[in-house]
Amino acid sequence: MKKNLIAPSVLAADFGNLQRDVEMINNSEADWFHIDIMDGVFVPNISYGMPVLQAIQKHAKKTIDVHLMIVDPDRYIKEFAALGATNLSVHYEACTHLHRTLQAIKAEGMKAGVAINPHTSVDLLEDVIKDIDLVCMMSVNPGFGGQSFIENTFQKVRKLKQIIERNGASTLIEVDGGVTDKNAAQLVDAGADVLVAGSFVFKAENPTQTIKELSDLVNS
């Protein structure tokens, strides 16, 4: 049976205690670190950039999954590779030559991801699906943590799973935004492989236990 993965979103961590929260993820049953990079242009918020990722990377002992919410992401592919990113996801809506961008990410030794906004149809990925290692499906409008999950995501995940299977691709489906214990099992049933959770983990009284419960819920 495949393992469904949990990726806590560091955006919801306590930046005053960042090393503590990184160690919490290291010592938990989480699988990946999810890192949100926002430029204030592609999305109406600015998160953090290279120096913070460098600080996280110094202590992180798991896969570093970087989600770029920036315009013209090609400019920074080499830098994210040098900073230790394992996966690099660019937004479909931010790329003019998506296929070329995916090749450039892979050429730097990273897994190539494509993030899609809630309004973007999964059908647009069919012709490039075999080149995508990971689809980061946004289940909120990107830019902020703590938003409510958009229910239409379930049918998008099902449809994307069909596209992946029809094309014999091995693309992982990651769902990002508003993930909780209320929708996690249904997302995995629909075909999701990776669940990103920010507020649900970091606002919990016991984040380590919450990660374990979420992982158990989708791996039982």
**Residues that constitute the known binding site for a divalent metal cation:** 34, 36, 67, 176
Residue nearest ligand 5SP by beta-carbon distance:
198
What DSSP string runs through 127-196?
GGGGG-SEEEEESS-TT-SSPPPPTTHHHHHHHHHHHHHHTT---EEEEESS--TTTHHHHHHHT--EEE
Q: Does residue 197 bind ligand 5SP (CB under 6 A)?
A: yes
What region does 173 belong to: left with phi over 0, alpha with psi -120 to 50, or beta? beta
Among the listed residues 21, 31, 36, 65, the single contact to ligand 5SP using CB under 6 A: 36
Confirm if 175 and 153 have CB atoms less than 8 A apart.
yes
Please count the residues of the chain.
Answer: 220
Among 73, 113, 191, 198, binds ligand 5SP (CB under 6 A): 198
Distance of closest approach, residue 199 Cβ to ligand 5SP, in angstroms? 3
Q: Is 67 in the site for ligand 5SP (CB under 6 A)?
A: yes
Q: Return the residue of 177, 211, 214, 218 that touches ligand 5SP, per CB under 6 A.
A: 177
Q: Which residues contact 27 (CB under 8 A, 6 or more apart)?
A: 208
How many residues belong to the site for ligand 5SP (CB under 6 A)?
22
Stretch that binds ligand 5SP, among 92-100, 116-124, 143-151, 185-193 (CB under 6 A): 143-151
CA Rg value for the chain: 16
Q: Which stretch binds ligand 5SP (CB under 6 A): 50-58, 137-145, 161-169, 212-220?
A: 137-145
Is the CB of residue 159 less than 8 Å from the CB of residue 120?
no
CA distance from start to end of the chain:
10
Please identify every residue annotated as catalytic.
Answer: 36, 176
Q: Which stretch binds ligand 5SP (CB under 6 A): 25-33, 49-57, 71-79, 135-143?
A: 135-143
Give residues in contact with ligand 5SP (CB under 6 A). 9, 11-12, 34, 36, 67, 140, 142-147, 176-179, 196-200
